[in-house]
Amino acid sequence: MPDKVFLVTVKTGARGAQDLDESLKEMKELAESAGGSVTGSAKANALHPSPSHFIRGGKIEELVAAIAETGANVLIFNVDLSPVQARNLEDACGVRVVDRTGLILDIFARRAVSSDGKLQVELAQLQYLLPRLVGQGVIMSRLGGGIGTRGPGEHKLEVDRRQIRGRIDHIQGQLEKLRTHRAQIRRGRRQKGLWQVAIVGYTNAGKSTLLNALTGADAYVENRLFATLDPKTRVYDDGSGKPILFTDTVGFIRDLPHGLVKAFHATLEEVLDADLILIVVDVASEYAVEHRVVVEKVLEELGASPKKKILALNKSDLLAEAERARVQDRFPGGVLISAAVRQGLSDLIAAVREALA
């Protein structure tokens, strides 16, 4: 039975009204991707967050009433909460409280398939959970089922902090071996004279669909945020030029938790070593411009800003002709495509070859 989720979007000094609307829409998609059923939502102002609860007393009373009315058993916040704030909110509201990073980690735990992906998720979760472990207190009692509780598992968390730090050190050692192994693979490709293109973009922009359309790959595709975590590399070879290796990478998102960027560095190094970065933008989204900005920010954080880049303006089949012209003006130099119906792919390949040449 899915968790009944009540969403709380908090307006801080950095967020405007439009940002809050986008955040609410995204949080709904994230909650549903985590297997929850959204029963309601509320907005709150916290220009000066309370150290104890993040939000103030009057809003907490409103949330308690809303929980009783909707039957929600999970409160999800669009901001990150300190361990103290999360515990106090759980005590005040009587339900499980999950913050934004906890929710994204939960989705990653559901999506990780390969042993590498699972290791990277476990590292991020352990680093997130370490300051939240309070013996047999409220956080420990929440483990075992539902949003915000998936991941390493109770048997790995019911140990003291020293053992958890030891597990973190062990995983980091395993991931260092993974980085070395992947670097060797990339060197081998380069010695064979193959071009390497990293496909990046906001989550659910259509990266995996594009990889499948270009190369006949079988990358997992679903209309959900973070549908795939494990990078997949496939070759494009139409016989008219040098073969091109395309690598699908994990999707980016606004305020991507720093711990996740660090944990997935072994995977995201595919981006750093690429000859070209192909940014996929969902131009049918009303937030296309904002999403492109987020992607550029994450690339900057990774140190990939100086790389050659081209834009694939995806899902253009969902636009009217006039909208397509506006999109082209908004993203000059971008190539209009639709990976789903295989439109514009020859133009995209021509642009990729030109950029690589």
Of the pLDDT bands very low, low, confident and very high (cuts 50, 70, 90), residue 236 is: very high
For domain 4-104, the CATH superfamily is: GTPase HflX, N-terminal domain (3.40.50.11060)
pLDDT tens digits, 188-217 = 887 788 899 999 999 889 999 999 999 986
Interaxial angle between packed helices 288-302 and 265-272, expressed in degrees from 0 to 180 and rounded to the nearest 10: 100
* CATH 3.40.50.300 placement within the chain: 193-356
Helix (H) or strand (E) holding 345: helix 345-356
Distances (CA, A) of 91 to 83, 115, 140, 143: 12, 36, 14, 16
pLDDT tens digits, 60-98 = 999 999 999 999 999 999 999 999 999 999 999 999 999
> In terms of Cα–Cα distance, which of 193, 148, 121 is closest to 30?
148
* CATH 3.40.50.11060 placement within the chain: 4-104
Segment 206-212 long-range contacts (CB within 8 Å, at least 24 positions apart): 206/280, 206/282, 206/314, 206/315, 206/339, 206/340, 207/248, 207/249, 207/251, 207/280, 208/232, 208/248, 209/314, 209/339, 209/340, 210/248, 210/280, 210/312, 210/314, 210/337, 210/339, 211/246, 211/248, 212/339
> In terms of Cα–Cα distance, which of 303, 294, 265 is closest to 127?
265
> Which fold, 193-356?
Rossmann fold (3.40.50)
pLDDT tens digits, 239-296 = 888 889 999 888 888 877 777 777 777 667 788 889 999 999 999 999 999 999 999 9
